[in-house]
Homo-oligomer: A and B are copies of this chain.
Amino acid sequence: MLNRVNIIVILFLSFISSYAEDGYRLWLRYDLIKDQAKLNAYKKTVTGFIIDGNSSTLAIASKELDNGLTGLLGSRVPLVKSVRDASVIIARFPSPLLKDINLKTDTKAISEEGYVITTALLNKKNVIVIAAHTDVGLLYGSFHFLRLIQSFHDLNNIDIATSPKIKHRLLNHWDNLDRTVERGYAGFSIWDWHKLPDYIDPRYHDYARANASIGINGTVLTNVNANAQILTEAYLRKVAALADMFRPYGIKVYLTARFSAPVEIGNLKTADPLDPQVRTWWKNKIDEIYKYVPDFGGFVVKANSEGQPGPQNYKRNHADGANMLAEALEAHKGIVMWRAFVYDNEVPEDRVKQAYNEFKPLDGGFKSNVLVQVKNGPLDFQPREPFHPLFGALPKTPIMMEFQITQEYLGFATHLVYLAPLFKECLDSDTYTKGQGSTVAKVIDGSLENHSLTGIAGVANIGNDRNWTGHIFGQANWYAFGRLAWDHNLTSEAIADEWIRMTLTNDDQSVKKLTQMMIASREIVVQYMTPLGLHHIMGWSHHYGPGPWIKDKPRADWTSVYYHQAEANGIGFNRTTTGSNALEQYAQPVRNRFETLEQCPENFLLWFHHVSWDHKMKSGRSLWDELCHTYYKGADSVKWMQNVWETVRPNIDEERFSHVKTFLGIQHKEAEWWRNSCVLYFQSFSKKEIPKGLAKPEKPLHYYESLEFPFAPGIRPHW
């Protein structure tokens, strides 16, 4: 017998060492709980589960519970047939299974997708009840229940009732039909279009599981820089195969609409949204889509932005364009997510002001199934931006949030940057548009202006790399996006704690250290890339590495010098009343706070002000010295992260430990590259010494300027 055990143990271990720890399993690992006391407690509490009803969604929940509980507890937790044998009851309100149970929660307070997980008394015995109005609610509850065990929660007195604060919680894939991914750093697109619809990659199921586990309920399959081919019959059949597969997971499929599709694939001469032929073409096309995908979610549209066609090509406005599509989608309950990311090099106005100027006058002009999708900041997903002035500025229009999970401007896939603090900083910002407490979160969850149509989108960092996101810690950003989309009141710390426990280790000390490291990581990347309000000083086109010297490009608003405005006397973009007056787009007292040099928080200083090199900072240092010190502090802090990682080594498997260690090494090298490049470049204006105590960069500025990366990932090779 012992021999047999040994065989199996060895097999199992050799198996794990070869395959298990490549990151593919994300946070849904379900490995046997090592803490014997916890294990025993869970085994006592969780002995069997029952599910009332059958549907493909419930079959998924059942399989997940079976795999998950069996894995975590190390022995089969059966799906039982009688409620008497069940210690976990999964049922929709008002299931007969629930009739003898007194639920503490008012079921009316639970929304369609919400659920309760609660300890209840049944036949004088404690049971755990997972209840919801819908099967998808039960699936979400099942994942949450597994998470409780994965992260060592006490199951003895649970009382959870939760509903998503935002209705449409979507990933946006900037994936092209040739499988390149714009701003993708984790390999190539997971959508194998060529083999669809016949071949359903098993990976699609794991993608859906991961999303369902955090409540993501929609996926936009295609790049916002859209290709009309996706709307042809051949591709719609492929889309339908994915939609069929995702449906039981509660995930709807959306596409991006190329505004000029009527010309490109419809043989029309125009795409004018007020042209009757164009309107008919879109109506017919949308009706056709719904034949293939009866619950198609709708369109995201990038129009009149960075070369994309749009209604302005025909002297129409964004509302004309959005409403045309919305009208045809309305009959099918589809929505339009019209992006506000518009700016024009020809417009003689500070780029960060243009979206507001375009959309402010359109408020009230959109159909009721249109959301305007706004990036968190007014520029473009920088390491730090102030919140976008459109939040709160369009009270009659549902505004949805667009966050970027993929790290276009934050070190690609090799930098460990936990994004929840960035997301939260924006969500918690007070717009004051309806007085104190008018947070961005309240704008997008609809509570500020009483909108029932609400949405949030995250630009996915997912690719066909085995570990999905390139960096193991990139998984945390996918996870955090989903969790915040469900509940923006969660703290970054709480989300990090969950994720670490599920993904890496339940060792309390390690969890604490890693949480600290993750929370700090966002500020660290700001420090070594764009401290004190600097922005948009990265490499040309591919956005890899530093490029403060970028100038003389076809568009001024794609250069760095446009943004940092460094010169002999100082640095920074004056956006006060004496400058571009971008601040006029914010409500009071936000505007005043940023307007005055004294009140303006130093982390936004150079975003709003052009400041003398000698300006005295709160630290007592001059701006120049502070800038240098911050760059050096950022780079040094990556060393600190490397040290933190070393301390948790005993609690992390070798494969993932080594992966993260290697990537932290790259991050440190690149942090120093950023620091050296920026300090040397800005020094060419300030003409000041690098402060004492800071080591001089090892190479001269022209070396850093000479570096070229013709094959940096994430650029779309063709359309």
Q: Which residues of chain A from 44 to 72 have any CB-CB distance to chain B below 8 Å in the complex?
A: 67, 70-71
Q: How far is the CA of A414 from the CA of B201 in the complex (A)?
A: 13
Kindly supply a per-residue 1/0 record for chain A positions 6-31, scoring 1 wherever the CB is within 8 Å of any chain B CB and 0 otherwise: 11111110111011101011000000
Q: Which residues of chain A from 534 to 574 have any CB-CB distance to chain B below 8 Å in the complex?
A: none
A229 within 8 A of B: yes
Kindly supply a per-residue 1/0 record for chain A positions 184-214, scoring 1 wherever the CB is within 8 Å of any chain B CB and 0 otherwise: 0001100001110011101100000000000
Q: How far is the CA of A5 from the CA of B1 in the complex (A)?
A: 9
Determine the chain B residues whose CB is within 8 A of the CB of A665 once the complex forms: 198
A703 within 8 A of B: no
A455 within 8 A of B: no
Is B713 a contact of A10 with CB atoms below 8 Å?
no
Known: A10-B76, A24-B19. A177 touches B711 (CB 8 A): yes
Is A74 a contact of B7 with CB atoms below 8 Å?
yes
Is A199 a contact of B10 with CB atoms below 8 Å?
no
Determine the chain B residues whose CB is within 8 A of the CB of A9 once the complex forms: 8
A493 within 8 A of B: no
Known: A666-B195, A718-B717. A202 touches B12 (CB 8 A): no
Nearest chain B residue, comparing its CB with the CB of A176: B711
Known: A6-B75, A15-B12, A195-B414. A178 touches B711 (CB 8 A): yes
Partner of A75, one of B10, B178, B199, B666: B10
A710 within 8 A of B: yes
Determine the chain B residues whose CB is within 8 A of the CB of A76 once the complex forms: 10
Determine the chain B residues whose CB is within 8 A of the CB of A711 once the complex forms: 177-179, 193-194, 229
Q: How far is the CA of A15 from the CA of B202 in the complex (A)?
A: 15
Q: How far is the CA of A515 from the CA of B11 in the complex (A)?
A: 30
Is A71 a contact of B8 with CB atoms below 8 Å?
no
Is B7 a contact of A75 with CB atoms below 8 Å?
yes
Nearest chain B residue, comparing its CB with the CB of A12: B12
Q: How far is the CA of A120 from the CA of B75 in the complex (A)?
A: 48
Partner of A187, one of B11, B12, B464: B464
Known: A188-B188, A414-B195. A71 touches B11 (CB 8 A): yes
Is A71 a contact of B12 with CB atoms below 8 Å?
no
A662 within 8 A of B: yes
Nearest chain B residue, comparing its CB with the CB of A178: B711
Determine the chain B residues whose CB is within 8 A of the CB of A180 once the complex forms: 180, 717
Is B178 a contact of A662 with CB atoms below 8 Å?
no
A4 within 8 A of B: yes
Classify the secondary structure of A's interface with B: helix
Determine the chain B residues whose CB is within 8 A of the CB of A655 once the complex forms: 202
Nearest chain B residue, comparing its CB with the CB of A717: B717
Known: A188-B188, A711-B178. A11 touches B74 (CB 8 A): yes
Q: How far is the CA of A8 from the CA of B70 in the complex (A)?
A: 11
A690 within 8 A of B: no
Q: How far is the CA of A177 from the CA of B76 in the complex (A)?
A: 48
Determine the chain B residues whose CB is within 8 A of the CB of A198 once the complex forms: 662, 665-666, 669
Is A32 a contact of B19 with CB atoms below 8 Å?
no
Q: How far is the CA of A188 from the CA of B188 in the complex (A)?
A: 7
Shortest beta-carbon distance, A266 to chain B, in Å? 15
Is B14 a contact of A70 with CB atoms below 8 Å?
yes
Determine the chain B residues whose CB is within 8 A of the CB of A32 once the complex forms: 7, 11
A3 within 8 A of B: yes
Partner of A177, one of B24, B71, B199, B710: B710
Q: Which residues of chain A from 693 to 719 have any CB-CB distance to chain B below 8 Å in the complex?
A: 709-713, 717-718
Determine the chain B residues whose CB is within 8 A of the CB of A177 once the complex forms: 710-711
Determine the chain B residues whose CB is within 8 A of the CB of A67 once the complex forms: 14, 18
Known: A14-B67, A187-B188, A195-B414. A3 touches B717 (CB 8 A): no
Q: How far is the CA of A655 from the CA of B205 in the complex (A)?
A: 13
Shortest beta-carbon distance, A453 to chain B, in Å? 34
Is A15 a contact of B20 with CB atoms below 8 Å?
yes
Is A662 a contact of B3 with CB atoms below 8 Å?
no
A359 within 8 A of B: no
Q: How far is the CA of A530 from the CA of B77 in the complex (A)?
A: 56
Nearest chain B residue, comparing its CB with the CB of A707: B234
Known: A15-B20, A20-B19. A712 touches B75 (CB 8 A): no
Nearest chain B residue, comparing its CB with the CB of A412: B194
Determine the chain B residues whose CB is within 8 A of the CB of A649 once the complex forms: none
Known: A711-B194, A713-B194. A5 touches B3 (CB 8 A): no
Determine the chain B residues whose CB is within 8 A of the CB of A195 once the complex forms: 414, 666
Nearest chain B residue, comparing its CB with the CB of A655: B202
Shortest beta-carbon distance, A260 to chain B, in Å? 16
Q: Which residues of chain A from 395 to 451 have any CB-CB distance to chain B below 8 Å in the complex?
A: 412, 414
Determine the chain B residues whose CB is within 8 A of the CB of A621 once the complex forms: none
Q: How far is the CA of A19 from the CA of B5 in the complex (A)?
A: 22
Determine the chain B residues whose CB is within 8 A of the CB of A290 once the complex forms: none
Partner of A10, one of B70, B414, B669, B718: B70
A466 within 8 A of B: yes
Shortest beta-carbon distance, A656 to chain B, in Å? 11
Q: How far is the CA of A200 from the CA of B179 in the complex (A)?
A: 23
Q: How far is the CA of A179 from the CA of B75 in the complex (A)?
A: 44
Determine the chain B residues whose CB is within 8 A of the CB of A6 once the complex forms: 75
Known: A71-B14, A202-B655. A717 touches B178 (CB 8 A): yes
Kindly supply a per-residue 1/0 record for chain A positions 136-160, scoring 1 wherever the CB is within 8 Å of any chain B CB and 0 otherwise: 0000000000000000000000000
A292 within 8 A of B: no
Shortest beta-carbon distance, A288 to chain B, in Å? 18
Determine the chain B residues whose CB is within 8 A of the CB of A19 once the complex forms: 19-20, 24
A657 within 8 A of B: no
Determine the chain B residues whose CB is within 8 A of the CB of A713 once the complex forms: 178-179, 194
Determine the chain B residues whose CB is within 8 A of the CB of A709 once the complex forms: 194
Q: How far is the CA of A666 from the CA of B199 in the complex (A)?
A: 8
Shortest beta-carbon distance, A571 to chain B, in Å? 31
A604 within 8 A of B: no
Q: List 10 A-B contacts (CB under 8 A).
A: A3-B75, A5-B8, A7-B75, A10-B75, A11-B74, A19-B24, A179-B188, A198-B662, A198-B666, A199-B414
Q: Nearest 3 CB-CB pairs, A to B? A: A717-B717, A7-B74, A177-B711
- Known contacts A187-B187, A195-B414, A198-B665; 14 additional CB pairs below 8 A are A1-B1, A7-B75, A10-B76, A12-B15, A15-B16, A18-B25, A177-B711, A179-B713, A188-B188, A194-B713, A198-B666, A199-B662, A199-B666, A229-B710
Listed in ascending order, the chain A residues whose CB lies under 8 Å from chain B are: 1-12, 14-16, 18-20, 22, 24-25, 32, 67, 70-71, 74-76, 177-180, 187-188, 193-195, 198-200, 202-203, 229, 412, 414, 464, 466, 655, 662-663, 665-666, 669, 709-713, 717-718
